[in-house]
Amino acid sequence: MPSWPTFAAGIAAAARRSVSKLLADRDETQKHGQALQVAGKKKAPPDEVCKLFNAFLAAEGKMIKGLEENSALCGVPADVIKRVKAGHSKASQVGKQVCEVAGERTRPLMKVLERAPEQPCAALWARLSCPLEGEN
């Protein structure tokens, strides 16, 4: 059995690794959040914002998982995790709405393509091309 100082040093090292990982996850989440803010300011199209939301939500989900797994070791209060989860839930709802709008923007094009002939490009090209000089 390890001595008390060795045991305590092992716990301290594990706590430092956990805190370091949590900080890295937080920084990654903030990076994606800032990208969303920039996209909002420049009025990016919904499909671009949808991708950014998905990346943000994935990073935030990873951070929440780390908070939950390391709450005891790192001293993360339960109310902090509860607030982060509530914010994540709201962000998920907004992300879902943004992605629905992005999907609606592509639906009209998909309907046109569904009604198109088997080889729409060939048919279009046949209508647009004109004979070369000497061909009639």
Give the tens place of pLDDT for each residue, 75-89. Answer: 888 999 999 999 999
The amino acid present at 106, given as its one-letter code, is T
pLDDT in tens, 27-61: 999 999 999 999 989 999 988 999 999 999 999 99
CB atoms under 10 Å from CB of 66, counted, come to: 19
What residues have CB less than 8 Å from 120, skipping those under 6 apart? 113
Using the structure block, give the residue that is written with the tokens 């094009």: 109
Global confidence as pTM: 0.69
Mean pLDDT of 69-98: 89
Per DSSP, which regions of 9-94 are E strands?
none
Q: At residue 123, does pLDDT exceed 70?
A: no
How many residues in the chain? Answer: 136
The amino acid present at 62, given as its one-letter code, is K
The amino acid present at 38, given as its one-letter code, is V
